[in-house]
Amino acid sequence: MSKVVIKTSDLPESFSDINPHNLYLYCKSYLSGIRANTAKAKTRSEVRGGGKKPWAQKGGGRARAGSVRSPIFVGGGVAFGPKNNRNYTQKVNKKQKKLALNFALAELVADEKLFIVDNIVIESGKTKDAKAFIDTFQQRDVLVVKELIDDLTLRAFENLKNVYIIEPNELNAYLAAAYHSVVMEKAVWEKLTKES
């Protein structure tokens, strides 16, 4: 297996002079898109109980009250709580997505954390063989980009800690920025640089 560390001088011109704000916007959009959006508080109409007027309207010396499920009572509804219907998605256009990915890859190249290999195949399907392959790079955590993931290779990488294997269509700026280093097949890298 031949291993190549990409240098800044090897990058196409489109990878240079990219505003880092593109990466910020993409990461913000990506994280917004995966928010669970499950926050929900009950209003006074949804809280259980409170059908009876707690005390007489007049004569008690207290403020008038119609229900103990009013927001001013303990156990009452929430006046302006979250409604579980908020849309967190933030739009990022195709050009910005591409710029963000190119910037993230350029940063990896500048730090000498982008490795190109001819082919990534673990024919045995064993995790120990995948670990031996990853250990040759001596990196903290690794994003592996393979053109077409076969079942045996996927099985070998699946249980490895701090390693994530994906196909090129799953590669995005957030993943490229989140991982300490990236190992990808030569065919994938050529396609990325050709499209840029």
CB 23 within 8 A of CB 101: no
What pLDDT, on a 0 to 100 scale, did the predictor assign at position 78?
A: 95
**pLDDT of 166 above 90:** yes
pLDDT of residue 36: 86
- Residue 1: per-residue pLDDT: 60
Q: Which residue has the higher pLDDT, 148 or 194?
A: 148
Assign 196 a pLDDT band (cuts: 50, 70, 90): low
Rounded CA-CA distance 85/91 in Å is: 18
Pairing mode of beta strands 142-145, 114-117: unpaired
Q: Rounded CA gap, 100 and 96, in Å? A: 6
Phi then psi for 152, rounded to 5 degrees? -65, -45
Q: Please, what is the average pLDDT of the chain?
A: 90
For the whole model, what pTM was predicted? 0.79
Which residues are CB-contacts of 99 (< 8 A; sequence separation ≥ 6)?
18, 19, 22
How far is CA 170 from its chain centroid?
11
Q: What residue ranges define each of the domains in the chain, with the CATH number in brackets?
A: 3-10+90-195 (3.40.1370.10)
For residue range 88-142, what is the model confidence (pLDDT) as tens digits? 889 999 999 999 999 999 999 999 999 999 889 888 989 999 999 999 998 999 9
- Euclidean distance between CA atoms 143 and 49, whole angstroms: 53
Query: For residue 22, what pLDDT is reported?
Result: 94
